[in-house]
Every structure is written in C-alpha cells, then in structure tokens.
Amino acid sequence: MTTVIKNGTVVTADLTYEADVLIENGVITEIGPNLKGDEELDATGCYVMPGGIDPHTHLEMPFMGTYSSDNFESGTRAALSGGTTMVVDFVLPGQGQGLVDAMKGWHNKSTMANCDYSFHMAVTWWGEKVFDEMPTVINDHGINTFKHFMAYKGALMVNDDELFASFNRLAELGGIAMVHAENGDVVAELTAKLLAEGNTGPEGHAYSRPSQVEGEATNRAIMIADMAGVPLYVVHTSCEEAHEAIRRAKMQGKRVWGEPLIQHLTLDESEYFNKDWDHAARRVMSPPFRNKQHQDSLWAGLQSGTLSVVATDHCAFTTEQKRYGVGDFSKIPNGTGGLEDRMPMLWTHGVATGRLTPNEFVAVTSTNIAKILNCYPKKGAVLVGADADLVVWDPEKEKTISASTQQSAIDYNVFEGHHVKGLPRFTLTRGHVAVHDGEMRTQEGHGQFVKRPGNGTVNRALSTWKELTAPRPVERTGIPATGV
Ligand code: URP
Ligand code: ZN
Ligand code: ZN
Ligand code: ZN
C-alpha cells in the first residue's frame, strides 16, 4: 500500500518547491511531479512540511506529589492533532535510582504512544552509579542528552560541583548537557520570604522567579559547560538575560542552544494577576511567563538564529491538581500544556505576522531539533529515505482554541480563546494518516522509540577544538636552579 501527497508545495528548512511525495512502508520513497499511489491525499493550497518535533515534554511525570495528567496516549494524540509527529520526554530517576532502571519505567509508560518518541535522561542526583551507567545509556540505549535541574531545591536540583562532574563525563562520552537554568537557592529564599509576608497566591510564583535568577544560572551553566568542553542545550529560555547569555556565548564560538517555549512567546505575566485563582494557577510554570520586552527578545532570537528551537515543556495538570496549592503557591504543580497548539500558535504569531519565514518555521519546530538531538534526517526532513513524519499544512484553515475540543486530558487550555490560522489538513506518522481533514485516526501503540546516538558532529568538533587548545606545559630550554 503506497500513499501519495499530491499538488502541494514542499517546504523544508532550506527549500520551497512544488512536488508530490510518495510514501511506502512508512518511508519517503520519491519526491517529484505526477506521482501515483494507492491512496491519494490532496494537498492543493497546502505546504508539505516535516512533522513537528517537540523536544521537551513531560508525559505522566511524577512531580510535586502527583503525576502530570497527559500520558503517552493522550499527549501524542494532542501532538498529532496539532502537526507534531515526535516528542522527546524526560526520564526522571528517583533519588538513588539507577538511570537504566528509571528508563525501563519510561519505556513501559510509552508503549501506548501514537507517534514516535525519544527520551532525554535527567541527572537528578550524582554518584558512582550515575557515572557508571552514563555510557550504557548513550551507547546501548540511544539517549545522548542529559538534563540537569539548577532549580527545585530539595527535590531535583543538583549543585555546581555535581554539574561540573556530570558535564565532564558527558564531554568524555559524546553526550549533550541540558539545563533547567534558575538559581534554585535564591528561588527557595525568595519563596520563603514571599510566603512569610503573606504573598501566597499564584502571582507569588512569578515574584519568586524573576528573570535575573534565570540569567545568572544560564551564565553559570554556560561557563561550567565551557570548562568541561561539552555542548549545552538550555531548556525553556524565557527572558532577555538568559537569551543574552546564550547570544554572547554563541558569538564567542561556544556550542550553546536556547529553547524558547510557545507559551513564553505568546503569553505574558499579566496572567498571574488575573482575579480568578484558577486562571492564574493553571498558568504556573517555571520559569514563569514574562513581560513583552522579554517576549520581543525571544522572537528576535528566533529571527536571528541566536535561539534555535521552539518547544512546549508540555506538563499538564488539571485544575484539581493545581488546587493543591491553594494558600501556598509553592505547592501548585508547575507546568502547562501546549502540545496541540505549538505549531498553529507559532504559525499564527510567527509566520502570519512576518516574523518568521515558512522555512524558518520548519527549522525551529523540526529540522534544527532533529539536527541538535542527532536524529536527522530520519526525522525533521522531507527527503527520500526519511521517515514519512509529515504535516500537510493548510495556511487558510482556522479555529479558536478551546479546551472543549482539545485532545489533551486536562479541563482547560492556557491558550483558550486564541484564534489561530494555519492548521494541519493531514498529519502522517511514519506514513499512517493520523489526522485526516479534522478527523482523528490515531493508532494507540503505533509510536516507536527513536534512538539518538552520541558523539554527533558538534561533539566531535568541540572535542577536537578543546584538545587543540588544552593547557600544555611549556618546553623550556633552561630552568633556573632553585635558590636556597
Ligand atoms: O514548570 C515546569 N516547567 N514544569 C515541568 C518541569 C520542568 O521544569 O521542566
Ligand atoms: Zn525545567
Ligand atoms: Zn520541562
Ligand atoms: Zn493568540
């Protein structure tokens, strides 16, 4: 059974051209004019693009005394509905738990996925077991990215000495370091002070995590990564201070990538001052939403290339779960959803406004991600031999975002009421048409794990450079006698 996408315009990160796309056994087998297939999908008036890759999700994640409410079934269904065909989720080992053991738990949870997925590993504690298992995780299990939390003191946070030890190990093994960059010590102090002063509502969450704490941690992580000689990926970059640090590092030739979220690009801090407690608490996430100046900085980063990708950090909690924090904002489970809305929101606020070209849209939602995470061109490409993870994007299709029509399991949507123009007509996951002109045809369990090997090209270049510029003793011709 072959499928052909006909009459569309192929849009990749670097090219725009008219062609049909033929798919066989889940893979693209031909791109060109007048192709024939058993099943035909009409893409007249549409762009045929690589499906989105969301590099940052937390599906069924144990966090803050509960579990995030979208699992791998509802989460990947939401993803496909919005044109995303691959998600990368974080394995979170418990304190003292081995990396491989934790990873098995994630593999068990993800068998229900509707689209392909991969994992990042989190380094939530440091010790010999973690050190010893890192090579297995990279070389045998195809996970080359390791996230470190510089925040969530007393839970997931690791200190600078642990960061440095882990980054050194990753440099040696050809892995990529990731950081959640906020100064966790300062956040903990500010939180205690705010609560003591009676600032217990959700707005306290924003006050406790100002942009300075993110900027400082981003600078610190960049310095530690540079000392270790490891590439660094900064997740959920939300403010100018963090962007500035990344921009400066890039200008200095350092291998650093920044990942703004669609939420930070389009929603602002005024949400936390809403009179409705539920409204504000539903938007509590770390880092918090920022003001318009920070948003402008993030958009400029995408336009100039100093920020590389757009993610969601999809970590969806119901209103009931958010209410764990009534009377104490520090107990509101941190996280927001966005998997279904990332692509339409970015198209509407990015491409339709002229901030991004369609090719740049493909780059930041898919191709750059596949390249950085080392799964390109299996993913993130419209090329013969690539997986047929594709979205047939209709720039004229519109809707108003509403929880009442979403795929996500939660009872609200942080983008409720936003009008989007630009939506999938078809979404294909390895050739299977999971979204067919508004109709969901997902197959639970269709998703496969995507291995991402270590030692990608950036690792190799960086280790060559670090070796070349490493400190060396000077060969001296004469050494003076030690004086007595
Ligand atoms: O608030 C957030 N971002 N929740 C998910 C966990 C994390 O920090 O990425
Ligand atoms: Zn985080
Ligand atoms: Zn996250
Ligand atoms: Zn909007």
Query: Would you list the DSSP string of 314-335?
Result: B----HHHHGGGTT-GGGSPP-
Determine whether the shortest distance from the Cβ of 314 to ligand 1 is under 6 A: no
Q: Is residue 173 assigned to a domain?
A: yes
Q: Is the CB of 315 under 6 A from ligand 1?
A: yes
Q: Is 335 in the pocket of ligand 1 (CB under 6 A)?
A: yes
Which of the four pLDDT bands, split at 50, 70 and 90, describes residue 479?
Answer: confident
Give the Cα separation of 98 and 319 in Å (integer): 33
* Residue 425 falls inside a structural domain: no
Q: What is the mean pLDDT of residues 79-105?
A: 98
Question: If you measure from the C-alpha of residue 286 to the centroid of ligand 2, how many angstroms do you get, rounded to a whole number?
Answer: 6
Query: What is the number of the ligand closest to the CA of 268?
Result: 4
Q: Does a structural domain hold residue 24?
A: no
Which residue among 153, 263, 315 has the greatest number of ligand 1 atoms within 8 angstroms of its CB, and so is best to mutate? 315
State the Cα–Cα distance between residues 408 and 74, nearest whole angstrom.
Answer: 6
> Is it the case that residue 483 has pLDDT exceeding 80?
no
241 closest CA partner among 310, 301, 198: 301
Cis previous bond, 287, omega within 30: yes
Closest to 115 (Cα-Cα) out of 433, 376, 374, 481: 433
Average pLDDT of 51-78? 97
Residue owning the nearest CA to atom 5 of ligand 1: 335
Tally DSSP H helices, then E strands, for the chain.
16, 20
Residue 189 pLDDT greater than 80, yes or no:
yes
- Domain-embedded: residue 479: no
What's the pLDDT band for 303 if we cut at 50, 70, 90? Answer: very high
What are the DSSP calls for 43-95, one per residue? -TT-EEEEPEEEEEE-TT-EETTEE-S--HHHHHHHHHHTTEEEEEEEE-PPT
252 lies in some domain:
yes
Whether residue 68 has its Cβ less than 6 Å from ligand 1: no
Distance 343 CA to ligand 3 centre (A): 18
Q: In angstroms, how far is CA 118 from the centroid of its own chain?
A: 11
Q: Tell how far the Cα of 153 is from the centroid of ligand 1, in angstroms.
A: 13
Average pLDDT, stretch 295-313?
98
Neighbouring C-beta atoms of residue 362, cutoff 10 Å: 27
| Predicted confidence (pLDDT) per residue in 6-19, tens digit | 999 999 999 999 99
101 has which bridge partners?
none
Q: How many domains does the chain have?
A: 1
- Please, what is the average pLDDT of the chain? 97
**pTM beyond 0.95, yes or no:** yes
Indicate if ligand 1 lies below 6 Å from the C-beta of 118.
Answer: no
Give nearest CA residue, ligand 1 atom 4: 335
62-71 as b/e: b if 16+ CB within 10 A: ebbeebbbbb
Tell me 417's DSSP state: T
Domain that holds residue 334: 51-382+394-420+450-462
Taking the centre of ligand 2 as the mean of its atom positions, its distance from the CA of residue 285, in whole angstroms, is 9
Is the pLDDT assigned to residue 471 strictly greater than 80? yes
The residue whose C-alpha atom lies closest to atom 9 belonging to ligand 1 is 313
**If pLDDT is split at 50, 70 and 90, which confidence band does 294 have?**
very high
| Residue of minimum CA distance from atom 2 in ligand 1 | 335
Q: State in Å: Cα 96 to ligand 2 middle.
A: 20
State whether the beta carbon of 334 lies less than 6 angstroms from ligand 1.
Answer: yes
Cβ of 214 below 6 Å from ligand 1:
no
Asked, for residue 201, whether it belongs to a domain, the answer is yes
Q: Are 450 and 86 in contact (CB under 8 A)?
A: yes
Closest of 147, 148, 67 to residue 109, by C-alpha: 67
Q: Which of 254, 256, 264 is nearest to 285 (CA)?
A: 264
Q: What CATH number is given to the structural domain containing 358?
A: 3.20.20.140
235: closest CA among 343, 89, 127, 96? 89
pLDDT at 279 (0 to 100) = 98
pLDDT band at 484 (very low <50, low <70, confident <90, very high): low
Written as one letter, the residue type at 99 is L
Reduced to 3 states (helix: H, G, I; strand: E, B; else coil), residue 125 is: coil
Region 292-316 average pLDDT: 98
pLDDT at 482: 84
Q: Give residue-wise pLDDT tens across range 245-262.
A: 999 999 999 999 999 999
Point out the ligand 1 atom lying closest to the alpha carbon of residue 285. Answer: 1
Going from the Cα of 403 to the center of ligand 4, the distance in angstroms, rounded, reads: 15
Assess whether the C-beta atom of 216 lies below 6 angstroms from ligand 1. no
Tracing tokens 């409705």 back to the chain, one arrives at 276
Q: pLDDT tier at 478 (50, 70, 90 boundaries)?
A: confident
Contact predicate 313/339, CB 8 Å: no
pLDDT tens-digit series, residues 122-156: 999 999 999 999 999 999 999 999 999 999 999 99
Any atom of ligand 1 within 6 Å of the Cβ of 175: no
The rounded distance, in Å, linking the Cα atoms of 206 and 271 is 10
In a domain, 34, yes or no: no
Residue 458 inside a domain? The answer is yes
Query: Ligand 1 test: best mutation among 58, 147, 158, 283, most atoms within 8 Å of CB?
Result: 58
Contact predicate 259/309, CB 8 Å: yes
The finding on whether 6 has its CB within 6 A of some atom of ligand 1 is no
